Amino acid sequence: MADNDLLAQEFERNRARLRAVAYRMLGSISDADDAVQESWLRLSRSDPDAIANLPGWLTAVVARVSLDMLRARRARHEDDAGGSLPEPVVSVGDGEADPEHEALLADSVGLALLVVLDSLSPAERLAFVLHDMFAVPFDEIAPIVGTTSTAARQLASRARRRVQGATPAEHPDLKEQRELVDAFLAASRNGDFDALVAVLDPDAVFRMDRGGLAQGPQEPIVGAEAVARQVLARGTPLARFARPALVNGAAGVVVAPGGRPIAVVGFTSARGRIIAIDLIADPEKLRRLSLEAGS
């Protein structure tokens, strides 16, 4: 077998991990795929005999590519505020989906955590993702960020405090998550304000991303009663089109009138209540749904 074939096989063994690193860095499946592809191109132009630890080398490369992409994105949108949510990882139905997508879904992180990660600086996000999520040592993180090991440790520590302060422990039981979502949908369909408030945490937050459809940034709505009013005002007519789905590994729904997805809704629950609702109606982020979903 040719050396290039062996190299390609080794790369494929690492692809799922690389995609997971890039997705946590970028919050976008399409951008993560671009970062992974760029990592392969850099590997194909490198001398494999000079690479002592290929998995570590590839992780560093995809992290560096993702960091550059994140910095470029921040530079383009430095004046934007609010309204943008991560591209969701969605699975609908019982059909077969792409194995890479299923791997990403099985190892995914919640939308609420990705929202918090997006509030970090690019360097903080990289240090936290690599160290806390993938156990990469700080002395390997430091050269990627262009700093010292001590400074990389401080970046991860600051990020960790932000994450811990903003993301309560989520409800791990998928069956109970689904029961909460079903109760939310039933109250929405029936226009039952009190039942809706009862299933929401008092400090529940509702975030919406309509992409280019929105007239300016969409600020989050906070508080059970305010969220319930928003849901009943805009969501009741569409609640009957909600189809159960896994959204970033948690119970969620796809809203699809006539079978055409117009929104993905992710739910974060804790303490027996829904604490966050993330509605993604950006056409660009929904474009891949029919390709990715197992339907």
Domains of the chain: 3-166 (1.20.140), 174-292 (3.10.450.50)
Question: Is the pLDDT score of 96 beyond 70?
Answer: no
- Tell me the β-bridge partners of 266: 252, 278
Residues 52-69 pLDDT 10s = 899 999 999 999 999 999
* pLDDT of residue 200 exceeding 90: yes
Question: pLDDT for 245-291, tens place per residue?
Answer: 999 989 999 999 988 899 999 999 988 999 999 999 998 888 866 43
- For the cut 50, the answer to whether the pLDDT of residue 163 exceeds it is yes
Sheet containing 200-209: give its strands across: 90-91, 242-247, 250-255, 263-270, 273-280, 200-209, 221-222
pLDDT above 60 for 295: no
- Beta-carbon count within 10 A of 271 CB: 9
Q: Are 116 and 163 in contact (CB under 8 A)?
A: yes
C-alpha–C-alpha distance, residues 252 and 68, integer Å: 32
